[in-house]
């Protein structure tokens, strides 16, 4: 009996460090969300939209502050001057030709942004997913050479864009390499996959991402960020409605 107890204690002693360092699903998602939040950011970028009609490229400038505020201003010829502003609770569009400011709500949020695989609703999801989803750790899987946690998240509120999310999060860097978005019944709606990352002081940031809307046929959008700068001074008025119409 003493020998058996000694063996058990020895095993627990060996395993203790790994048991103590094991993360829950909620902790993994929280770390992943923290990776996406910057004090401020600024970038230029392009959306490469591919469908059965061909390829279209839309360029933009973007700014963000924290997890709730962002501004996109399109610079490509066809969309020049169009802006999308996200504040803590609202999403607004501005069309310069009509000098029209539109508050996006209800079914309008599900519209495609410039014909891409990105909807306006995609921009409304908060980055504190632990408070919005119940998280289940399904296991581990290798994605493009990266060992990842695999998690299923089921919404516990109605204010999120997707009822279910399946995500693959890097065990080392907590970067989300891949995600699938589902209806409540389990129908696949959208896929997102990171194609390229850059290192900012030891912090990996996705600079090229592929988005595929599974409700469409033969379509994908490649989102590319250029000249990304993080934690830089940004004017407080950048995310105001007054600034949007300039």
- CATH assignment at residue 39: 2.50.20.10
Average pLDDT estimate for 1-15 = 47
Q: Is residue 198 part of a domain?
A: yes
Q: How confident is the model at residue 18 (pLDDT cuts 50, 70, 90)?
A: very low
Q: How many domains does the chain have?
A: 1
Q: How confident is the model at residue 127 (pLDDT cuts 50, 70, 90)?
A: low
DSSP assignment letter at 108: G
Domain that includes residue 82, residue range = 24-244
C-alpha dihedral (193, 208, 70, 227), degrees to nearest 10: 160
DSSP assignment letter at 119: B
Average pLDDT estimate for 48-71 = 94
Q: Is residue 2 part of a domain?
A: no
Q: Is residue 61 part of a domain?
A: yes
Decide which of 174 and 159 is more confident: 174
Q: Is residue 64 part of a domain?
A: yes
Count of CA atoms in the C-beta half-sphere (13 A) of 100:
6
Q: Is residue 80 part of a domain?
A: yes
Q: Is residue 11 part of a domain?
A: no
Average pLDDT estimate for 21-48 = 91
Mean pLDDT for the chain overall: 88
- The answer to whether 23 and 32 have CB atoms below 8 angstroms apart is no
Q: Is residue 178 part of a domain?
A: yes
Look at residue 229 in the predicted model and tell me its pLDDT. Answer: 93
Look at residue 244 in the predicted model and tell me its pLDDT. Answer: 78
User: What are the start-end ranges of the H helices in the chain?
Assistant: 2-21, 25-36, 241-244
Give pTM, 2 decimals.
0.86
Three-state DSSP string of 25-63: HHHHHHHHHHHHCCCEEEEEEEEEEEECCEEEEEEEEEE
Q: How far apart are CA 111 and CA 46, in angstroms?
A: 19
Q: What is the pLDDT of residues 197-230, one digit of tens each?
A: 999 877 889 999 999 999 999 999 999 999 999 9
Q: Is residue 169 part of a domain?
A: yes
3-class DSSP state of 13: helix
Give one DSSP letter per residue of 224-240, joined into a string: EEEEEEES----GGGGS
For residue 169, which phi and psi values (nearest 5 degrees)? -115, 125
């Amino acid at each position: 009996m003493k020998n058996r107890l000694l063996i058990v204690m020895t095993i627990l002693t060996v395993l203790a460090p790994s048991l103590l360092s094991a993360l829950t699903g909620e902790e993994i998602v929280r770390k992943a969300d923290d990776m996406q939040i910057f004090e401020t950011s600024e970038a230029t970028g392009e959306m490469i939209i591919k469908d059965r009609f061909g390829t279209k490229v839309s360029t933009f400038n973007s700014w963000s502050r924290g997890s709730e505020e962002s501004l996109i201003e399109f610079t490509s010829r066809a969309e020049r001057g169009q802006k999308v502003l996200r504040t803590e609770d609202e999403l607004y569009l501005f069309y310069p030709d009509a000098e029209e400011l539109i508050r996006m709500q209800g079914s309008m949020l599900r519209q495609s942004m410039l014909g891409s695989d990105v909807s306006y609703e995609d921009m409304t999801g908060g980055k504190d997913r632990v408070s919005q989803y119940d998280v289940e750790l399904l296991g581990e899987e290798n994605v493009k050479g990266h060992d990842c946690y695999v998690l299923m998240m089921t919404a516990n509120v109605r204010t999120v864009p997707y009822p279910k999310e399946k995500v693959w999060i890097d065990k080392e860097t907590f970067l989300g390499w891949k995600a699938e978005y589902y209806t409540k019944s389990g129908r696949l709606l959208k896929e997102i996959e990171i194609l390229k990352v850059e290192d900012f002081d030891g912090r990996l940031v996705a600079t090229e991402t592929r988005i595929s809307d599974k409700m469409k046929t033969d379509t994908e959008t490649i989102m590319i960020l250029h000249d990304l700068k993080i934690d830089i001074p940004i004017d407080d008025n950048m995310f105001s409605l007054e600034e949007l119409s300039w």
